[in-house]
Amino acid sequence: MIWKTFGWSFGVTAAGLAAALIFWGWEALAVVAILSILEISLSFDNAVVNAGVLKRMNEFWQRIFLTIGILIAVFGMRLVFPVAIVSITASLGPIEAVELALDDPDQYEQLVTDAHPSIAAFGGMFLLMIFLNFIFQEREHRWIGWLERPLAKLGRIDGFAVGVALAALLLTATTVATSAYQHGGAHLDKSDTVLLSGVAGVLTYLLVGGLSGYFEHRLEEGEERAAEEEEAAKRAGKEPTAVGLAGRAAFFLFLYLEVLDASFSFDGVIGAFAITNHIFWMAIGLGVGAMYVRSITIYLVRQGTLDDYRYLEHGAHYAIGALAVLLLISIRWHLHEVVTGLFGVTLIGLSFWSSVRANRIDAANEASGGGGDGQEQSEVRSGV
């Protein structure tokens, strides 16, 4: 199972490290290894959330996510994205931007850093919308009951999550963005840029998420029929066939996953400049990390980890919310990538511990003949 799931990641790691050593030497090898670890640590919460979406797709679309999706993630976000930033902000062609990255890496880094406010606003608002839509929904299990219970009630108000997100954006644009961090420690007023980019992030979430939700709704009748067939198969003593989302619904969920991955990768790409401004070292290191994120996602889906550890998805979404806030804060104050990485790892670790504790209590109750798996007991078992 491990080799089948992580085989490609192991192969890409070996090839990437070998290429770094052969073409650039031991320093490049060390930098690529560090960047790979950085990307994995920053994006583990991404893998957990991806798994929650991916498990709803059929096997075909899961393979698409691992093939075409990884090409988009590695070459699109880790190589093309930094070049595109420079091309747009400096009004250069893609080839000129690559030449600038190779010939004058310091100037290249400056242009990317100066574009950070718009990147952080877009990515921060997209991630914030994901967190808000999760936290404002009623769920079978609550990890932090005293907080999630009243928020779920507020979520019944139409458009409440969008209203909170836009209020956060307005606050950011009128306070944090008035003195945005620039290369070399300078600060400029980027209110208009942040406001525009943030609105684009919200609209992107609404568009992609809305389309996927629309087509999911169209397939509800088909899913209900499939569920009836599964029940009939069970009664007949046959093994039911699990069928995931396919067609247009899966396609738009795939788009949603790619935009989600792009938003998560903003932090890794920007943070990588704290280690190196060599475009190819960065692409290899972050690309290797992205491969492991994909493999971890598939592993979580195939092992049913999200079902076994009920609060893991909660922890990942809280990590998303923290990352969204940190991205918005980073518009003005430069934050070290270790800070964002520790937030995510800590929250997921706590949710994992709470899940293990809840499972042990469930097992003890079953052994002693105790009953009750209600919502109130679920909150007590979480230990949060």
Question: By percentage, how much of the chain surpasses pLDDT 70?
Answer: 74
pLDDT band at 170 (very low <50, low <70, confident <90, very high): very high
Tens of pLDDT along 197-251? 899 889 988 887 776 666 556 555 555 665 666 676 667 666 555 445 556 667 7
Least confident range from 55-64, 183-192, 261-270: namely 261-270
**Helix, strand, coil share of the chain (percent; to 5):** 80, 0, 15
Q: What is the pLDDT of residue 274?
A: 53
Question: Does the structure show a pLDDT above 90 at 1?
Answer: no
Residue 153: Cβ within 10 Å count: 11
- How would residue 376 be classed by pLDDT, with cut points 50, 70 and 90? very low
**Exposed, middle or buried: residue 365 (CB in 10 Å: 0-12, 13-18, 19+)?**
middle
CB 175 within 8 A of CB 361: no
% of residues, the chain, pLDDT over 90: 7
Q: State the pLDDT confidence band at 259, using cuts at 50, 70 and 90.
A: confident
Quickly list DSSP for 119-157: HHHHHHHHHHHHHHHHHTS--S--SSHHHHHHHHHHTTS
Instruction: Please tell me which of 30-44, 164-178, 226-240 the model is most confident about, judged by mean pLDDT.
Output: 164-178
For the entire predicted model, the pTM comes to: 0.68
Point out which residues pair with 245 in neighbouring strands: 57
Taking the alpha carbons of 296, 139, 261, 125 in that order, is the dihedral positive or negative? negative
